[in-house]
Amino acid sequence: MSPIWNAFRGLSSPGASQVSALAKLPKRTALIAALALASLCTPGCSVFQNGYSAMTRNGAWNDTVVGLRNRNLSSKAWHKRKQHFCREKYTKDFCNGFRAGFEAVATGSDGCTPAFPPSEYWGWQYQSADGQARSAAWFAGYPHGARAAEEDGVAFWNQVPMSAGMQAEYQNAGVLTHEGALYPIPDSSNSLGGNPLTIPMMDGSSMPLDSFNQMNAEEIAPQVNPLGSPLPFGGPVPLQP
């Protein structure tokens, strides 16, 4: 055999592979030593803490979890109310619109019906009388799903709570009204004059804050008749003039 062939044969022989493997050992040893040194210099808890923070505070991961949660909630909401829409001819498309409206409100949308249906309703199979009816069924189900999200309270889950003190500051600055607050805000406009703090009520009047400790819930909550006009309180309530 020629010397060239013997040279190539020697490179592919088992002995040559062992030599190449031995040559790589120092590099692997150096890499393992570097990793061990890094682990010794870094506290163990911080490694796991950084990994946990990267997963929990990741925007893409958060959007994925919220999307899966909203899909699950929309499915439960539809199964709880689908008996009310059993006369719909295109139940599947109505269900798709229902769940789309529910998930939109749960994500933070205002619940208004979009101008166009999803892109899946744009194909050739929907360019007919039957397809137009199925698209109309999707539009019909959307507001029902948005209302279901509001009824279940899901529409408020994406709002970050605000402390009472911060709400009062926004209210005094005219940015936040009593109607937009999540709970009553003490009216401190007359606090400098020595008058007691008052809390605005639903009928437009004000109630002293100290009277809440001496009243029952039935006296605080207004009773509404079927016609919608508020009835007098169950007991005498001192009102701020």
Same domain, 99 and 152: yes
pLDDT, tens digit (0-9, with 9 covering 90-100), for 16-61: 555 455 455 566 666 666 666 565 555 555 655 666 666 666 667 7
47 assigned to some structural domain: no
Provide the domain count of the chain.
3
Task: Read off the pTM.
Answer: 0.49
Same domain, 88 and 126: yes
Instruction: Give the least confident one: 70-74, 147-151, 161-165.
Output: 161-165
CA-based nearest residue to 100, from 119, 87, 84, 127? 119
pLDDT, tens digit (0-9, with 9 covering 90-100), for 113-151: 999 999 999 999 899 999 999 999 999 999 999 999 988
Same domain, 147 and 214: no
CA-based nearest residue to 112, from 152, 139, 79, 83? 139
CA-based nearest residue to 158, from 53, 55, 61, 63? 63
Higher pLDDT, 231 or 111: 111
Chain centroid to CA 129 = 37
For the chain, what's the residue count? 241
Instruction: Return the pLDDT at 2.
Output: 52
pLDDT, tens digit (0-9, with 9 covering 90-100), for 188-210: 444 445 555 565 665 666 666 55
Domain that residue 205 falls in: 164-220
Residue that terminates a domain, selected from 156, 175, 195: 156
- Does the pLDDT value for residue 233 go beyond 50? no
65 assigned to some structural domain: yes
